[in-house]
Each structure stands twice: as C-alpha cells, then as structure tokens.
Amino acid sequence: MRKNIVAGNWKMNKTLQEGLALATELNDVLASATPNCEVVVGTPFIHLASVASAVDTSKIHVAAQNCADKVSGAYTGEVSAAMVKSTGAEYVILGHSERRAYYGETYEILKEKVQLALANNLKPIFCIGELKEEREANKQNEVVKAQLEGSVFNLSAEEFGKIVLAYEPVWAIGTGLTATPAQAQEIHAYIRSLVAEKYGKEVAENTTILYGGSCNPGNAKELFANPDVDGGLIGGASLKAADFKAIIDAF
C-alpha cells in the first residue's frame, strides 16, 4: 500500500530560531492528532539537526531540500547526503524546479544526487513538472517522461521503491495558480503508467506521487481526493503551522 504524505518545503525562509518555533508549534498541534498521512518538513540545512531533535520524529519526518552530487571532499559550501543523514533527516527533496532553473541542475547531476541519497538511506522526494510554455504546447507528458528517464529510471526496482515522486507544474509554484483536480489526476495517472511500464504494476501502485503548486487549505481536499494524488508538496502554506495542519487534515 502506498503512503499518503504531506511534505512542507520551507525553501530559503526562517532563521534558525524562527524555524525552530515553527517546528515546535507544528509538533504541538500534531501532538494530540492522528494524521491520516505521513508529515514531512523540508527545512534549510542549518535547521535539520535542531528540528529533528525538537520534534517527535515518529510524527514529523525531517527532509533536506538538496544534497551534493559528490561523496565528500573539496567542494566548498556543499552538504553531502551522508551529512544530511547524520542530522536525523529521513528525506531529501531533489530536482525541485528552482534548483533546476537557478542552479543548473541537469538530469545527470540529479541522477548522481538520487544515487547518493539512496546510498545513505535517505528517501528522495523527486520533483518533476513542466513549464508554462510546455503546458501551453501540450508537452507536459513528454517533459515528465524525459525527467524520469533522465534521472531515476536507471534505478533498480528495489531502489525505485524507496523514492517519492512530486509532480509540480512550474507555472503553479508560488503563483497562486493551481492545476485543477482533473489536470492533476490526468498527469498523475500518466506518471503512474510510466512507472508501471518501467517497473511493473506492483511498484507503480506502491509509488507515492505528490502534487505541488499553490496547494493550500482551500484546495487540498479536492486535489487529494483523486485516486492518483497521494498528497502534496507544500511551499508557501507550509510556513504557517495552522495552514499546514489544515492541509494535513484534508486527508
């Protein structure tokens, strides 16, 4: 059975103190709740260890937003998958469209990052999704197919079984525009069919596919009601504990 997940992506927001306050608040609101999904918070690197020790990690799982494409050594400013793992983090968001667009992360670089994350027992949340022009040209299916083939379809079925996919149409990220529930379902079903073609029906049925892009307390329920939408990757709305909790409650 695949897992439902609501994962927050704080991006480059919150000082250490602010981040700890947000994580503690979320921990408090979830203390008496029994969410019907796994809850993940994706924090900046500097918050990882503190957040992992401040929250109940059986309820709030911690994610990094990136890791290096190298094992270790003379790569000033980089943070390796092993370092991320040593903080208590369990997940790592990889392939976010902002990393692809602003930091030149190619299919090959992401392939290395995914491999290193898995080798260090981190679960990648691998993001895919098309640009506005690509959607307008009806190229979304070929874009997500190429992104999967370029960075994760080299994995064995066992390795692939450890990753979570996040479909994030770039035109919906931080814009207030959201894919309609029908658009999300259509492409999630297509992504699942690609996984089935490559790894078989069982692996495909067990793959968690999240939707990301202006998901908020007002639209989460409708999006998550689709059979192939297994939760969300949440940017802006993960920065307020009440909004994030309301999205968790959409399950």
The catalytic residue positions are: 96, 168
Nearest distance from C-beta of residue 102 to ligand PEP, angstroms: 12
Pick from 60, 184, 235, 251: which binds ligand PEP (CB under 6 A)?
235
19 binds ligand PEP (CB under 6 A): no
Query: CA-to-CA distance for 99 and 103, rounded, in angstroms?
Result: 5
Q: Which stretch binds ligand PEP (CB under 6 A): 20-28, 44-52, 67-75, 232-240?
A: 232-240
Single-letter amino acid code for the residue at 40: V
Task: List, as one string, the DSSP characters of 41-78.
Answer: EE--GGGHHHHHHHS-TTTEEEEES---SSSSSS-TT-
250 binds ligand PEP (CB under 6 A): no
* Residue whose beta carbon is closest to ligand PEP: 235
Pick from 151, 230, 236, 245: which binds ligand PEP (CB under 6 A)?
236
Pick from 20, 52, 144, 234: which binds ligand PEP (CB under 6 A)?
234
Task: List, as one string, the DSSP characters of 8-23.
Answer: EE--S---HHHHHHHH
65 binds ligand PEP (CB under 6 A): no
Q: Which two tokens stand for residue 37?
A: 């999904």
List, in order, residues 6 or more apart from 112 with CB less than 8 Å away.
69, 70
Q: Which stretch binds ligand PEP (CB under 6 A): 24-32, 77-85, 152-160, 230-238?
A: 230-238
Please say which residue, 204 or 228, places its beta carbon nearer to ligand PEP. 228
- For residue 202, count CB atoms less than 10 angstroms from its CB and return exposed for 0-12, middle for 13-18, buried for 19 or more: exposed
124 binds ligand PEP (CB under 6 A): no
168 binds ligand PEP (CB under 6 A): yes
Pick from 27, 50, 214, 219: which binds ligand PEP (CB under 6 A)?
214
Rounded to 5 degrees, φ, ψ at 180 are: -70, 160
Nearest distance from C-beta of residue 168 to ligand PEP, angstroms: 5
List, in order, residues 6 or more apart from 99 with CB less than 8 Å away.
66, 105
Please say which residue, 30 or 217, places its beta carbon nearer to ligand PEP. 217
Query: CA-to-CA distance for 225 and 4, rounded, in angstroms?
Result: 11
Pick from 44, 95, 212, 231: which binds ligand PEP (CB under 6 A)?
212
Reported residue count of the chain is 251
For binding to ligand PEP (CB under 6 A), which residues are involved? 9, 168, 173-174, 212-215, 233-237
